Structure 1
Amino acid sequence: MSSTMGWHEAAANDSAISPLEHFEHLLFARGYLLSRVLKPAPAAHWRHHAVGRWFLTRDSRLAATFRELDGRSLLLVGNAIDLRSQVDGAPVVDGLLRAWRVSRAALDEALEWLAGRYVILAQSPEEDFFQTDATGMLSASYSAAERMVSSHQNLLAEAAGGLDYSTFGEPDWLRKRNAYAFPGTFTRFAGVHMLTANTELDVREFRIRRVGPLPAEPGEPREIAGQVLDLMRQQHPFLTRRGGGPLVSLTAGLDSRITMAAMRELAPQSLFFTYEKVYDRKSGSDYDRSIATQLAAHLGLRHHGYGLTTASRSPELDAVLERSTFLTHGRIVAASYLHELPADRLHVRSNLYEIARAYYRGKERPVVDPRLFARILTSSSAPPRAVVEAFDEMAAATGIFDVGDYDPLDLFYWEHRIVSWFHKVLLESDIAHDTHTLVNSRVILRLLLSVPLTDRRAGTVFDHIIGLAWREAYDLPVNGSLRSVGQ
């Protein structure tokens, strides 16, 4: 019987990376580049690997596994947890290869059960394809002309020797259009596109294929809450790093309350933290810090609250971040993680829950089409024609309107809004810590989307999760109002 062959390299600790005077060691932090021709590494601690017909160049702070079996190979970069077999690292890849040996459908089913932040490159005589995790938390931009895929569009552009701007690449386009991201799959650079969630990239022809989500069986909120909570808890053994238990951001909102409750068993090893933008009293972060401090005292959590007294930051660090990603979200916050929070630990964030809360169904939207997507992106009733056309192209490539059992607006939030917005946050905070979210799995998101619309809009499943996991988490207001646990 054949056995798998290959290699595995664990993620290097942040403290093991030699700091450089002008923060160059943080350039393209936790990034990767896949190319058909070997490209120079951005820093000395990056690693090169030949992986079948490709070369991988990666920050050593990203784990990587390459396995071969019966003429097929799989490369996994990042962290993935198999929720069925309760393993991470190399055993995950071995399990995926065994599933692929049975059939491509068996591999697709196995991928549904992965949680984490990762990308996968699969190669075989029949097909070569690339996928991200459930929401592209380890992001991917690709160029067919350059035959490259990368975590950072800026890294891809540099590796290509410089690229022209796309139709939407002028420096102020996002600000002028009040847009959270570029339209469709466009990026700043011509010929470079974002890989959306629930799709894969055929890296022979550089074409898109939809791979999910699988059909969702209608569910009852309390039952779904129990199933999701179990899957969240199964991730607990994999959240500790060399420096200790997870770092958990805590605010006055619902999402961080859900994460906190689901991690109750890990609370003694965890450090919860809240920042306050002292320099910006309109941000509401003082309320976040006040509620989080009270909540931590009430529940006996270790909590670190700190204030950001200025919006300024190191010019040298800012230059590194600008070269890594011109997209900005909260650079002063990301920079604060370097000196306020301990290194060599995993940051557990509370994003992604809104995918299951019918974010765009708060108002009547009788026609869902590319023009509506363009209106949402630009906050305009008359979006530019080029923006509508970009979403037309995205719809044609991804088949977002052809997925049975799912509202296209839910998929739009999942596949475009989250993927294109959240990676902006992570490409900045990666300078300090790797990130995990407890619901970043296709099977979990599918379960959360299986309950009726009225329950999704009300967040009923999440109320049940609190009731099952830690009822006292609702003793203090959530965003200013008291909530009741599900009955």
Structure 2
Amino acid sequence: MSHAFRHGYVAADHAIELRDLPGWRSGRVGRFTVHRHPVTRWVTAANGSAEVAILGDAVDIDAGTADSAEIAQSVLSALTSGVDRAVRYVAYLGGRATVLLYRDGELVVVPDYAATQPVFWHHDASGTVFSSHAHLAGEVVGAPVNEPYRALMRQANEMKTKGTIYWPGIETPFIGVLPVLPNHVLRVRAGQTPRHERFYPFPDTTLERDPDRAFKVFSEVFSEHVRLLCTLSRHIGLSLTGGRDSRTTLAAAWPHLSPAFARTWTYLNVPAPTKVMADDAEAAARVAREYGLSHHLIDLHDKAPEDFAPMPAFEKDYFRTMRYTPQFRRLAVAYAEQLPPATIQLKSMVAEAGTGFYKKRSGVPDVGRLTYLYSPTPFGELPLVHSAFERFSAYSGLSVDAAGELDWHDLYYIECRMIKWGSLRMQECDLSHRTLMPFNSRGVIEALLGPDLEHRGDKQALTRFIAERGREQNRA
């Protein structure tokens, strides 16, 4: 089975050619044929007036179920009452999935909370295509490579730009291929250009400002989300560090883990780790022992790509999937070589959406401020970067008013950084095993967003959760 675009899909309202993707399966929703990798979870529901499809792993935290068929029926029931009601229901699902809603000749594509299973779309005279992978969408439609921004990414390296750098704004490696941003839907009607629309925050979205009450909500919702994710497989694994994000995940997961099948790990260059990485691995191993779990080291093989290619077929599929957007190739290869393929990884990314990634906050989300937050370096001042965020601003509609009771910085983190960087890290993991995010829940993050920024930045909710729910001894 090919690893290319693993856990992915591509959908079109017209005939398309899939090249060298053996075993892919097909289904239909409305006018769209959805082609999917053999391991991509797919469930549908329909009645006389509406259709629903779920691609991926969805869980219903409020209903306490991870049964995809049951969830699809609940989505269908909401959709029968109206698209807006269905979108709101889907918005509070956990897991990692894309939900398709079809009613009255319109298809509505809804990503998960942080679009950790992203959606990329393209429209031309032939029709509309959307996919989990920008490279698959670009490949299917024959879109030209976005050479100006590809050169810009090379320039970032040449300038030795510090910090995490990813394709800016809504730019992708292919001209005409665009992302569906978190908190937005894609609405598609025959013969019309698709509409990219914001749906969140809802007009009545409010946050709990009292830290104790907010913690109670967080503790309940997060615990239930993790419990449901753990029901998807007994082969649960956690990427564990000495930090509080992953330790919070472990504290929530441990009552539901089977020590015979569950595992934790830390990745590092085993022959010559840096002191920081070695200390982190030692701290993680100590925590794992307190939970009675086996802890493993994932060896990153600190060699140049041309000197290390033990899995040529995997490397080929990796290159096809991540050609212009590689994130952590060595880790992807190490996972493919060293992790059992049945593993479901609980990865603690997205936590910073709640604990506050941007600590210094000021101003309004104009192009200058958005560009600075993307990269406060000379690279961030380049004209192409500025142009990218002009397009992002128009496409996202991000503003103080649009943010409602939320701080726009928190929306920006999800709508720019997570979709353009975080989701790619997860897709690299997907090439060998499935990756799910316990913090990828609107209810979880809303509970963390309420208290003041100092409380959030200190990760007081996570510290308290570890102390109350975990098995650690005297850990700060």
Normalising by structure 2, what TM-score? 0.88
Conservation of the 8 A alpha-carbon contact between 1:275 and 1:305: yes
Q: CA contact under 8 A between 2:95 and 2:437: conserved in structure 1? A: yes
Deviations 1:28-63 (A, max 9, x none): 111110111233344222112232101101001111
- 1:264 deviates by 2.5
Q: 1:174 to 1:149 in 2, by over 3 A?
A: farther
Matched residue, 1:420 = 420
Among 95, 105, 109, the residue aligned to 1:116: 95
- Give the 5 Å matches for 1:96-107: 96-107=75-86
The one of 337, 340, 343 equivalent to 1:342 is 340
Superposition pairs of residues 13-162 of structure 1, within 5 angstroms: 17=1, 25-41=2-18, 42-87=20-65, 88-125=67-104, 127-145=106-124, 147-162=128-143
Superposition deviation, residue 124 in structure 1: 1.3
The residue aligned with 1:313 is 309
- Given the superposition, is the C-alpha separation of residues 374 and 133 from structure 1 closer, same or farther in structure 2, using an over 3 Å criterion? same
Amino acid in the other structure paired with 2:237: L
Aligned to 1:264: 254
Is the counterpart of residue 209 in structure 1 residue 197 in structure 2? yes
Question: Aligned-pair distance for 1:320?
Answer: 2.0
Rounded to whole Å, the distance in 2 between the matches of 1:364 and 1:35 is: 41
Aligned to 2:240: 250
The root-mean-square deviation of aligned C-alpha atoms, in Å, is 2.2
Q: What's 1:456 paired with?
A: 456
CA deviations 1:248-269 (Å, max 9, x no partner) are 1111112111111111212444
Over 3 Å counting, the alpha-carbon distance change for 1:295 and 1:111 in structure 2 is same
Q: Check conservation: 1:39, 1:57, Cα contact below 8 A.
A: no
CA distance 1:328–1:284, change in 2 (3 Å): farther
SS at match of 2:472: helix
Q: Following the alignment from structure 1 to structure 2, what is the Cα–Cα distance between the partners of residues 423 and 313?
A: 25
Q: Which runs of 5 or more structure 1 residues have no equivalent in the other structure?
A: 1-16, 18-24, 477-482
Matched, 1:229 2:219: yes
Quickly say closer, same or farther: Cα 1:277–1:147, change in 2 above 3 A: same
Residue identity matched to 1:295: V
Query: Where in structure 2 are there 5+ consecutive unaligned residues?
Result: none
Once the two structures are superposed, the pairs formed by residues 423-438 of structure 1 within 5 Å of their partners are 423-438=423-438
What is the aligned partner in structure 1 of residue 407 from structure 2? Answer: 407
The answer to whether the Cα contact below 8 Å between 2:371 and 2:381 also exists between their aligned partners in 1 is yes
The equivalent residue for 1:186 is: 171
Equivalent-residue separation in structure 2 for 1:283 and 1:156 (angstroms): 41
**Counterpart of 2:381?**
383
1:420–1:174 Cα change, 3 Å: farther
Q: What CA deviation, in whole Å up to 9, does each residue of 1:382-418 have, x standing for no partner?
A: 6123322322222222221122111111111111111
| Alpha carbons 2:78, 2:89 under 8 Å: kept | yes
- Alignment check: 8 A CA contact 1:48 1:58 kept: yes
Instruction: Return the match for 1:199 from 172, 178, 184.
Output: 184
| Per-residue CA distance 1:427-476 (angstroms, 9 max, x = gap) | 21112111111121222222221222221121122122223211x43634
Aligned length: 451
Percent identity reads 23
Distance 1:64 1:419 in 2: 22
Q: Aligned partner of 1:234: which letter?
A: E
1:248 is matched by which residue type in structure 2? L
Deviations 1:258-314 (A, max 9, x none): 111111212444211122213553373212211111222233222223433433333
**Cα deviations by residue, 1:194-234 (Å, 9 ceiling, x for unpaired):** 11110111123322111113322333223222222222332
Judge conservation of contact 2:350–2:439 (CA < 8 Å) in 1: yes
Q: Is the 8 A contact 1:276 1:285 kept in 2?
A: yes
Name the SS of the counterpart of 1:73 in structure 2. strand
